[in-house]
Amino acid sequence: MKNADWKVNAFALATTLGIVYVLCAIYDTLFPPYGLLRLVETVSPWPILGSAKGLVFGFAMSVIAGFVLGAIHGIASRYWSKTL
């Protein structure tokens, strides 16, 4: 595997989670009592919905989490492919 494989995994998952966040925000706007972000917002210590600041922060948090998880996945898969 190439050294840049972890970057591909990281950017792919970051993009995916960003898109999922936007779709969840649209769903929450259309159907207010049934949204996933409304459920998560009640237990989140930071605002992730309800205002422009919350939407930007929630989107950024989703993208950063996706990048970190994708990088961990890429590094782990490279390690295990060599080990196994």
- What distance in Å separates the CA atoms of residue 68 and residue 38, rounded to the nearest whole number? 24
The token pair that represents 8 in the structure block: 């591909």
Which amino acid would we find at residue 4?
Answer: A
Which is higher by pLDDT, 14 or 80? 14
**In 3D, which of 84, 82, 69, 51 has the Cα closest to residue 6?**
69
Which amino acid would we find at residue 44?
Answer: S
pLDDT in tens, 2-58: 566 777 878 888 888 888 888 888 888 787 777 777 777 777 777 777 777 877 888
Q: Report whether pLDDT(65) > 80.
A: yes
- What distance in Å separates the CA atoms of residue 32 and residue 69, rounded to the nearest whole number? 29
pTM of the model: 0.69
Q: Give the residue extent of every domain in the chain.
A: 15-83
